[in-house]
Chains A and B, each alone.
Chain A
Amino acid sequence: MAEFLTCPFCGFEFEKVDTLCAHGCPLGAMCHLTRCPSCNYEFPDRPKRVSWIHKLFRRGALAYDELPTDIQPITKLKGGDRATVLCMGGQNPSRHNTLAVFGLVPGSEVVLVQLQPSCVVRVGETELALDTEIAREILVQRLRDQEPALAP
């Protein structure tokens, strides 16, 4: 069955079979990257199996080194960075709803105010303090100057 992927960079949707890159690449089956046929951006197609050490010490739901470089948890931003929220992470609808009423939903624009001693983000005109554990699960894409956010 054909599997569809969306490029995190340009948003192009394509079938998975199209994603083999250059023939004769020495990495061959070892390569876990998928290349977008539209913009040639490479991204990991599925998270690698996490080792038990990783499980023991993991502090979020995802192994971050698997993520494309411009998608990161909010805690990896620097103070003052603007970003678009991509995914709230975790399986906690009640928490997601609490954040949603403050306007923090996928697609909204956030500004990281500070990380220490607690994470503070600004969503529109609302300043919101969060546990670092909650913030770590929220994945964002950093926005460059003047770049508008997506719609919620």
Chain B
Amino acid sequence: MHLGRGSAVSSQSVNNPQRRKPDAVGGQTTVLVGNPNVGKSVLFKNLTNRYVTVSNYPGTTVDIARAQANFNGRAMEIIDTPGINDLTPRADDARVALNLLDQYPDSTVVQVADAKNLRRALLLTLQLAELQRPMMLVLNMVDELDERGGKIDTDRLSEILGVPVVTTVAVRNQGTQDLVDALSEARKPTVSVDDHTANGDLYERNRVLLRKVHDILGETYQISQPQHASFSVRLGFWAMHPVKGLALLGLVLFVVTWFVGLFGAGTLVDAMEVPLFQQRLSPLAIRGVDAVLRFPHTHDVELISHAVGVPLTPVHEITLATLDKEAILPPYTLQPGVDLSTPQNVLRVAHDFLVGDFGAITMALSYAFAIVLPIVTTFFFVFSIMEDSGYFPRMAIMVNRVFRVMGLNGKAVLPMILGLGCDTMATMTTRILETRKERIVTTMLLALAVPCSAQLGVLLAMMAMLHPAGAVVWVAIVIGVIFLVGWLTAHLFDGDTSDFIMEIPPMRRPQLSNVAVKTWTRLNWYLREVIPLFVIGTALLFVLDQFHVLEALARVGEPLVTGWLGLPREMANAFLVGFMRRDFGAVYILDAATGPDAVLSAHQIFVAMVTITLFMPCFANFLMIAKEHGMKIAWAMAAFIFPFAFFVGGTLNHLGRWLSF
């Protein structure tokens, strides 16, 4: 999994069963170890001139990064490990670190520490010392320690521990050369802790170690509380304040959805879809395929206009210019009176598979690249800014108590917010949750009620057609469903909710380079993992369409749609296609709602909006659920979600009619 880091350098997943043989001997491998958020990855970059994502959310990644470096003429492999707090192999991260140390028995351990937080670093140092490897200690961020008027007696510390101690400021690349020079002096620690009381009990052992740490700190370390709080510190406090924090949370969610809906789904999609795909690439593909797969037919041609403007809301914009261009469309007519021979029919099927209504190029790729890609890019960008600033742990604090109702703890906020970008990716991220129950509940809520970014734009546009009260009711219904279903799932599904114990990293100004790399890492994942699923989904649609299964299904579903939901019969098709392309179904509805010949009343728009929000997002999401939790769970969720969406939609329809809206 590539969430936090890894794209820039070769990385190896924890799940990879293949153990690498140590290809370096005699201390030519260096393993960086340290607590989370101590600047390990930046140091790694300084040492190797390559970049790795720095993640500010504890536990978003268990990938490791490795790279070659040349130190004073010695070739060396450097390995970065996930941040760990102790060496007990309970958490994935610590297991990865331990496995790595196992795989490289001759490696040198470089422990990176936050100079301000020496207590926690030394606990890890004492644990590492028990491994009896050549090691050294790097005190990073000494500039922040100086600002606080703190002091560390590095000579004395080095004497006590028996290993070299150097100071660095990784973000400014200071002290890197000292580190490299000291690396050759790395040696086995001489510090040891007599253990009379622990008897193998981890907690008691850690207490013994902490007592030793306390003694060491007494001799070498002093720090004072900051005199005045900086802006980021105050912002950090606001972000978890019961009132200000809630206001900030609301503001952040509003800005994110609006920005993604307006800029991503509006401006960027307009710029990609119409002029690039509809006016140019799609006709080009159709002409190309026609040249190769020949059978007598004529494609429809239509004048497609592209309005360039400044968006104000998802449905209003100031138009600056309109670019019209005639373009070939996928639908075609056969020449009348001509029967196709069998080989021609085969060509025709191949033609339809590539550039037909459900064609791999005209539908799957244009959808993936022209519509979803710009939207998820925008979302991932905003998400990375939030992640890099250290806001997510504070968000977790704000929602922890209400999430408890659903058998979740605050940590589940990360996948839930990511779901606003891509539910499929968020489903995969549920891995960071500790218990199976939490993972199942979160997966369920993502599939049911968290609208993904591809949908948000369309939903916002539909919402703009309604009275503001309609939007409020829609939000209330979605939140209500999340709580109701979350509460039910939590009570029906056996299991525990894990303790909410979470470190709150300091708020910091997002670094553009970090944000760029994180956005790219996620996009890279999206391109590799989700786009193939879109192609598979479209191929499935194509097959269903060829054998007229789609039509049959739509006919079966029609009474449900027209009678129960009170929507026009075309909507059955929209819902069906919507499962493969969630926004596509929504676009149908949008056309019917806001297009030139709008047929939907406000009441119908509202019912359609709620129903489509509650549907399982897309086929890719279904496949991801099956991959993460097994086919049984995936089918069970689908069996609940689809009837439930119809149930809620229909109830609203009848309730609305009864109240005569």
Binding site for B on A (CB under 8 A): 93-103, 105-106, 108, 113-114, 116-118, 120, 124-132, 134, 151-152
Q: Is the CB of B500 within 8 A of A118?
A: yes
The answer to whether A117 touches B501 (Cβ under 8 A) is no
Chain B residues with Cβ under 8 A from A100's Cβ? 203, 206-207, 210
Besides the contacts A125-B117, A129-B501, A131-B409, what 11 more A-B pairs have beta carbons closer than 8 Å? A100-B206, A100-B207, A101-B85, A103-B123, A108-B210, A117-B398, A124-B117, A125-B223, A126-B120, A131-B500, A151-B211
Residues from chain B with Cβ under 8 Å of A114 in the complex: 240-242
A-binding residues in B (CB < 8 A): 85-86, 88, 90, 114, 116-117, 119-120, 123, 201-203, 206-207, 210-211, 213-214, 223, 237, 240-242, 245-246, 393, 396-401, 404, 409-410, 499-504, 506
Report A-chain residues with C-beta under 8 Å of the C-beta of B399: 117
A93 to B199, CA, bound (A): 14
Closest B-chain residue to A151, C-beta based? B214
Q: List 14 A-B contacts (CB under 8 A).
A: A96-B203, A97-B86, A101-B120, A102-B501, A117-B397, A118-B397, A118-B401, A120-B397, A125-B117, A129-B502, A134-B500, A151-B214, A152-B210, A152-B211
Known: A101-B206, A152-B211. A129 touches B504 (CB 8 A): yes
Chain B interface, >50% SS class? helix
Contact between A124 and B120, CB atoms less than 8 A apart: yes
- Complex Cα gap A118–B246 (Å): 12
Check B504–A93 contact: CB distance below 8 A.
Answer: no
Whether A98 pairs with B501 at a CB distance below 8 angstroms is: yes
Q: A129-B397, A129-B400 are in contact. Are A118 and B501 (CB under 8 A)?
A: no
Q: Please, how many angstroms separate the alpha-carbon atoms of A101 and B201 in the complex?
A: 14
Q: Which A residue's beta carbon lies closest to that of B402?
A: A117
Q: Chain A nearest CB: distance from B497 CB in Å?
A: 9
Do A105 and B210 touch across chains, with their CB atoms under 8 A apart? yes
Q: Which of B201, B206, B211, B400 contacts A118 (CB 8 A)?
A: B400
Contact A105 B207 (CB under 8 A): yes
Q: What B residues does A128 contact at CB under 8 A? A: 501-504
Structural contact, A134 and B501, CB atoms closer than 8 A:
yes
Q: How far is the CB of A104 from chain B (nearest CB, A)?
A: 9
Shortest distance in angstroms between A148's beta carbon and chain B's nearest beta carbon?
11
A129 to B409, CA, bound (A): 12
Q: Which residues of B contact A130 (CB under 8 A)?
A: 500-501
Report chain A residues within 8 Å CB of B211: 151-152
CB distance from A11 to the nearest CB of B (A): 18
Total A-B Cβ pairs within 8 A: 110
- Asked, given contacts A131-B400, A131-B499, whether A101 binds B123 with beta carbons under 8 Å apart, the answer is yes
Q: Give the distance to chain A from B83, nearest Cβ to Cβ, in Å.
A: 12
A interface majority secondary structure: mixed
Compute how far the CA of A152 lies from the CA of B215 in the bound complex, rounded to whole angstroms.
10
- Min Cβ gap B87→A in Å is 10
Per the bound structure, the CA–CA distance linking A137 and B610 in Å amounts to 43
Note all chain A residues with C-beta closer than 8 A to B242.
Answer: 114, 116-117
Give complex CA distance A25, B201 in Å: 47
B223 and A97 within 8 A (CB): no
Asked if B85 and A102 make an inter-chain contact with CB atoms under 8 angstroms apart, the answer reads yes
Q: B33 to chain A: closest CB distance in Å?
A: 14
Chain A residues whose CB sits within 8 angstroms of the CB of B201 once the complex forms = 93
CB-defined contacts of A93 to chain B, threshold 8 Å: 201-203
Q: How far is the CA of A46 from the CA of B21 in the complex (A)?
A: 60
Given contacts A114-B241, A118-B397, A120-B397, is CB(A103)–CB(B210) below 8 Å? yes
With A93-B201, A125-B117 in contact, do A102 and B503 touch (Cβ < 8 Å)?
Answer: yes
Interchain CA distance A124-B122 in the complex, whole Å? 13
A126 to B245, CA, bound (A): 20
Residue contact A124 to B119, C-beta cutoff 8 Å: yes
Say whether B500 contacts A129, CB under 8 Å. Answer: yes
Q: Are B85 and A129 in contact (CB under 8 A)?
A: no
Contacts of A152 in B (CB 8 A): 207, 210-211, 213-214
Q: Which 6 A-B residue pairings sit nearest by Cβ, starting from the closest?
A: A127-B504, A125-B117, A101-B85, A97-B203, A101-B86, A116-B242
Measured in the bound complex, the distance between the Cα atoms of B503 and A103 in whole Å is 11
Which residues of chain A have C-beta atoms less than 8 A from B203's C-beta? 93, 96-97, 100
Asked whether B500 lies within 8 Å of A125 as measured between CB atoms, the reply is no
A42 to B503, CA, bound (A): 38
In angstroms, Cα B58 to Cα A128, docked, is 12
How near does chain B come to A82, taking the closest CB pair, in angstroms? 10
Q: How far is the CB of A105 from chain B (nearest CB, A)?
A: 5
Q: Known A101-B120, A103-B119; judge A95-B501 contact (CB<8 A).
A: yes
